[in-house]
Each structure stands twice: as structure tokens, then as C-alpha cells.
């Protein structure tokens, strides 16, 4: 109450609006809202720190000035620490979201960027408002870890996959469960909406895929895709939603016709578990990677292998098509990232570490000209896609880098690491843009907002998900 009254008494003072030139002028109410949003996770557990946290704000903040006024008037009778060399700019963390009792395993923005959902080991999903950080809903129902979640294309629904053997569909606006899809007999490892948003596909350790209707009052189960004799490791819809592809521990890639649920081709050639699978942007080719150290590109219509790419000497963990479908980038346990001609299988670039580090993750710029790698040697490296030349090497992290992301316009690169830090880099100049501190454990995932290039989301093993504004 004292702090509120102090804020009220300062509204007419112009000094509270003399912020730095690069910050827009804000009202006292907006300043207070920012303070509460960024400190809610502290104040909810330790409300007695309200004055201390207010005093820690930049001097130009109305909250900091109100705290100073209370102290000068001797209305505060408690021990506190005066931060003499505190930063005079607001922290880059715009929002810290807390509430999960255990680690967060997955998070996603809604298509319009106004909401986000996170899935946790505590068996819940939580929906947050991006602007305010308010928890809009907690989705209860799963009885085991929730390992995957996604918004529908129109943002009205959320799908979740859990180790409780179920897939659940939720109303993103009401926070209520629409349907619980039961049928899998072992853990559900992944779920995805079709591109038109009408169907849901789930993959499970029970060796099957199941398709469900995303809307309708009748029984939502549509069909089952059976044929694999070991767990399904990856699934994907074709761009036109007429086919789906699956990868399995049984060393095969299978293409299925959605209308009949029949397997129209079994693509055999891998000699070990298939780890990932993806459609080309044109929908006519499929790429798969395997523990047998190869990448294989398949022609769907001819049901034949176009090329076997054998440049790696250890298991290939992941691959991705460039936006135009002409090139592939692959990441392997052999410590290399390689770029290939997608159809010819010719290596057009090789991103080779000169030391013993290996890549934990990769990100491709939207124009496909650059590849960023997260490395075990604590470095983040940026490469020219075609020449394979290392453009930048960023060495700020002190422990293994776990994840990297590039924003849509290709101007910023974010990295998260085991040291609990996030760094943001300018890809045009190579300059460090921001060091984001706040997490207290491994940063497992970073993701840029789909439309706002300066907004970043991070998920950590400290059970928090943070939203950051990159200035």
C-alpha cells in the first residue's frame, strides 16, 4: 500500500518520463505492470522482497523512485541492500513465467503470437498470455509426463501427447479439454496437426500411428496406421495432407495414403534405427536419417531411393530441408554438420569442427544461406551454407551449448546452454546484442516469436519459461 501511494504521488513529476532515448516513454501504470510481470515469480514466493526489488529498478523507473521516496520519508523500517552500481536500463527479461512443479518439456507460441503453451513433467499444460504473462489456464487431465504440445493452425485448439498413453485436445480459449484420445497401448511420443487443421496424427511406442478428427461430436478416432514392428520414432504430414510418413526403430520408412490408411510403400535400405524423417517442400521427396550413419532421399512416386548419402561416419541425428528444397543440412555424432544437394546427394558443403566438439543442435536461416550450430565445446558457430566456411565463432558460454535459434529475418541468433545463460548475437556484424540472465539451470530450448523478431522464449530445467524482449 505504501509503495502504491508513493507511485500515485509521483505521477505529476516529469522526471519519471525522462527515460533513455531508445526506450519509449511509458506511463507509471505501464512501468508498474512491467515491474510486476518481470518480478512476479520472486514476489509470489517472497512478497517481503517487494521494496528491495523495487529499489533495484533503474533510477528512471517510477517504481524505483517511489521506493526511494518511502525510504527518505523513513516509512520503511527494515534491512535492505542499496545497489550503488545498478544497471540504468531495464533487464531484457520481459516476463518470467512460473508455476510448474517440475521441468518444462515443450513450449509453443500460438500462430498469432498472443498466447503460449508449455508442457511439463508435472502432468499439466499451462497457457499464458504473452503480453501480460498472466496464466490463462492450467490444463489438467494427463496422469504422466506431457512430452509434446502444439497449437492448431488457427490457434483455437491445443494438442498434447503424454506417456499416459493418451493424446488430448484442448480448447485454447476456455482451457477445457475437448477430447481425450485413447487407443495407444504404450507411451505416446509425438503429436501433430495436419496442415489444414482438421486432423491429428499421433505416434507411439506401440508401433502404430493413429489419426483423429480435430472437430465433431461423434467418435474422433478415424483410422490406424499399422505395419511397423518396432516403436515409431517420427511422423509427418505431406504438404497437401494426402499422405503421411513414419520412421521406426525397425529400420524402415513407410509412406501411407491418408484416405485408405494403407501403406503404399515401404522404403527399406537403412540398416539401423531410423531417427528422423521429413517431406521436401514440394511433397514429392522424403529424407530420412539413421543410426547406420547414412542419409537417404526417396522418390515417393517411384517408390525408390534417389540417393544414399554416406559422408558421415557416426549416427545421423537430424536433417532439414532448405526453404527451396534444393539443399539438405545434416547433424551427426561425428562432430560435423554437412550441407548436401538434396536430389543428387552430392556434398556441397562440410562444416567440420577442428577439435573434439560435437553439435548438439542446428538452426538454418530462413533464406538458407547460413547454418548455426550449438556445440559441446561451449561455442556457437555460424557457417556459410554452400561454401562450408565458418563465418563466426562465438565463445561466451562456459558450458556445453544445448540449443540455437535464428529469427525469421535472419538478423539475430540466440543460444542457450548448460551454464543457464542465453546470448543473442547480431548475424550481420557478429556483435553480442544481449546476455540474458535469469535461469538457474540448463537452458534446454530457445525460440523466437513467429512474427516479432525481437521477442524470444526460453525453457529451462529450473522449471521456468521466460519471455525476453531483445533491445
Task: Write the DSSP string, 109-171.
Answer: E-TTSSEEEEEETTS-EEEEETTT--EEEEE---SS-EEEEEE-TTSSEEEEEETTSEEEEEE
8 A C-beta contact, residue 167 and residue 213: no
8 A C-beta contact, residue 437 and residue 423: no
Strand 370-375 versus strand 380-384 pairing type: antiparallel
Q: Does 73 have pLDDT greater than 60? A: yes
8 A C-beta contact, residue 394 and residue 379: yes
Q: Does 132 have pLDDT greater than 90? A: no
Helix-, strand-, coil-residue percentages of the chain, each rounded to 5: 10, 45, 45
What pLDDT is recorded for position 142? 96
423 HSE (CA, 13 A, CB side): 23
DSSP one-letter code for 188: E
Torsion angle, CA of 399/405/407/410, rounded to 10 degrees?
90
What pLDDT is recorded for position 418? 94
Mean pLDDT across 357-382 = 83
What pLDDT, in 10s, does the model give residues 377-423?
899 999 887 677 789 999 999 999 999 999 988 999 999 999 999 99
Ramachandran category for residue 175: left, alpha or beta (phi over 0 → left; psi -120 to 50 → alpha): left
- Give residue 15's pLDDT band: very low, low, confident or very high (50, 70, 90): very low
- How many beta carbons lie within 10 A of that of residue 334, not counting itself? 18
Strands (E), 238-384: 243-248, 252-257, 262-268, 274-279, 285-290, 295-299, 304-309, 316-321, 327-332, 336-341, 347-352, 359-364, 370-375, 380-384
CA distance 397 to 420: 9
Closest CA to 375 of 391, 389, 363: 363
8 A C-beta contact, residue 308 and residue 343: no
What pLDDT is recorded for position 25? 61
CATH 2.130.10.10 for domain 353-470, yes or no, is: yes
Closest CA to 98 of 164, 151, 148, 44: 44
- Give residue 426's pLDDT band: very low, low, confident or very high (50, 70, 90): very high
8 A C-beta contact, residue 43 and residue 49: yes
What pLDDT is recorded for position 435? 94
Mean pLDDT across 18-37 = 63
pTM for the model: 0.54
Give 368's strand partners: none
8 A C-beta contact, residue 232 and residue 187: no
- Give residue 337's pLDDT band: very low, low, confident or very high (50, 70, 90): low
Instruction: Give every CB contact of residue 335 below 8 A, 6+ residues apart in sequence.
Output: 352, 353, 356, 357, 358, 359
Mean pLDDT across 172-178 = 89
**pLDDT over 90 percentage in the chain:** 36
Instruction: Give every CB contact of residue 93 below 8 A, 6+ residues apart in sequence.
Output: 38, 436, 438, 466, 467, 468, 469
Residue range(s) occupied by CATH 2.130.10.10 in the chain: 353-470
Burial state string for 91-112 with b = 16 or more CB within 10 A and e = fewer than 16 = bbbbbbbbbbeebbbbbbbbee
**pLDDT over 70 percentage in the chain:** 86
What pLDDT, in 10s, does the model give residues 302-316?
888 888 888 888 888
Q: What is the mean pLDDT of the chain?
A: 83
Q: Does 24 have pLDDT greater than 90? A: no
CA distance 353 to 21: 42
Closest CA to 160 of 213, 210, 198, 107: 107
What pLDDT, in 10s, does the model give residues 40-64?
767 777 788 888 888 888 888 888 8
Question: Cell 503424454 sits at which residue?
Answer: 162
Burial state string for 272-286 with b = 16 or more CB within 10 A and e = fewer than 16 = ebbbbbbbbeebebb
8 A C-beta contact, residue 233 and residue 274: yes
What pLDDT is recorded for position 207? 94
What pLDDT, in 10s, does the model give residues 249-278?
899 999 999 999 999 999 999 999 998 888
What pLDDT, in 10s, does the model give residues 91-122?
655 666 666 678 787 777 888 888 888 888 99
Mean pLDDT across 349-353 = 55
8 A C-beta contact, residue 270 and residue 258: no
Instruction: Give every CB contact of residue 334 below 8 A, 6+ residues apart in sequence.
Output: 293, 312, 313, 314, 358
CA distance 126 to 140: 9
What pLDDT is recorded for position 181? 92
Range with top average pLDDT, 13-27, 103-117, 344-358: 103-117
Strand, helix or coil for residue 42? helix
8 A C-beta contact, residue 295 and residue 309: yes
Q: How far apart are the first and last CA of the chain?
A: 32
CA distance 149 to 146: 8
Mean pLDDT across 324-347 = 72
Mean pLDDT across 135-148 = 91
What pLDDT is recorded for position 108? 79
Amino acid at each position: 500500500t505504501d509503495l502504491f501511494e508513493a507511485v500515485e504521488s509521483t505521477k505529476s513529476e516529469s522526471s519519471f518520463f525522462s527515460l533513455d532515448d531508445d526506450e519509449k516513454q511509458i506511463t507509471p501504470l505501464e512501468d508498474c505492470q512491467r515491474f510486476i510481470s518481470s518480478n512476479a515469480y520472486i514476489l509470489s514466493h517472497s512478497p517481503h522482497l517487494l521494496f528491495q526489488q523495487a529499489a533495484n529498478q533503474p533510477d528512471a523507473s517510477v517504481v524505483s523512485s517511489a521506493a526511494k521516496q518511502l525510504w527518505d520519508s523513513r516509512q520503511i523500517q527494515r534491512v535492505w541492500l542499496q545497489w550503488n552500481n545498478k544497471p540504468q536500463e531495464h533487464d531484457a527479461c520481459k516476463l518470467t513465467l512460473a508455476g510448474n512443479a517440475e521441468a518444462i518439456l515443450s513450449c509453443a507460441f500460438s500462430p498469432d503470437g498472443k498466447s503460449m503453451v508449455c508442457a511439463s513433467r508435472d502432468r499439466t499444460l499451462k497457457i499464458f498470455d504473452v503480453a501480460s504473462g498472466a496464466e490463462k489456464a492450467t490444463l489438467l487431465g494427463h496422469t504422466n509426463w506431457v512430452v509434446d504440445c502444439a497449437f492448431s493452425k488457427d490457434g483455437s485448439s491445443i494438442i498434447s501427447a503424454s506417456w499416459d498413453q493418451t493424446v488430448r485436445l484442448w480448447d485454447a480459449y476456455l482451457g477445457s479439454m475437448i477430447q481425450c484420445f485413447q487407443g495407444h497401448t504404450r507411451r505416446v511420443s509425438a503429436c501433430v496437426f495436419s496442415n489444414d487443421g482438421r486432423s491429428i496424427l499421433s505416434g507411439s511406442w506401440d508401433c502404430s500411428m493413429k489419426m483423429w478428427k480435430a472437430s465433431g461430436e461423434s467418435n474422433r478416432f478415424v483410422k490406424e496406421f499399422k505395419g511397423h514392428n518396432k516403436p515409431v520414432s517420427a511422423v509427418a504430414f505431406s504438404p497437401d495432407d494426402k499422405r503421411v510418413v513414419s520412421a521406426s526403430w525397425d529400420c524402415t520408412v513407410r509412406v501411407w495414403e491418408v484416405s485408405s490408411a494403407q501403406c503404399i510403400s515401404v522404403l527399406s535400405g537403412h540398416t539401423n534405427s531410423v531417427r528422423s524423417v521429413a517431406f521436401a517442400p514440394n511433397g514429392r521427396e522424403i529424407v530420412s536419417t539413421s543410426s547406420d550413419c547414412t542419409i537417404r532421399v526417396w522418390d515417393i512416386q517411384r517408390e525408390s531411393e534417389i540417393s544414399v548419402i554416406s559422408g558421415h561416419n557416426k549416427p545421423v541425428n537430424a536433417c532439414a530441408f532448405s526453404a527451396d528444397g534444393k539443399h539438405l543440412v545434416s547433424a551427426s555424432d561425428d562432430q560435423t554438420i554437412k550441407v548436401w544437394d538434396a536430389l543428387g546427394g552430392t556434398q556441397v558443403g562440410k562444416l567440420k569442427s577442428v577439435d573434439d566438439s560435437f553439435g548438439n543442435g542446428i538452426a538454418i536461416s530462413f533464406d538458407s544461406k547460413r547454418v548455426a550450430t550449438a556445440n559441446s565445446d561451449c561455442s556457437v558457430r555460424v557457417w556459410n551454407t554452400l561454401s562450408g566456411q565458418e563465418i563466426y565463432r562465438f565463445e561466451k558460454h562456459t558450458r556445453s551449448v544445448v540449443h540455437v535459434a535464428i529469427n525469421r529475418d535472419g538478423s539475430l541468433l540466440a543460444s542457450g546452454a548448460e551454464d543457464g545463460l542465453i546470448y543473442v548475437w547480431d548475424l550481420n556484424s557478429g556483435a553480442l546484442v544481449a546476455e540474458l540472465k535469469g535461469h538457474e539451470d540448463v537452458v534446454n530450448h530457445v525460440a523466437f516469436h513467429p512474427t516479432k523478431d525481437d521477442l524470444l522464449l526460453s525453457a529451462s530445467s529450473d522449471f521456468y519459461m521466460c519471455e525476453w524482449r531483445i533491445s
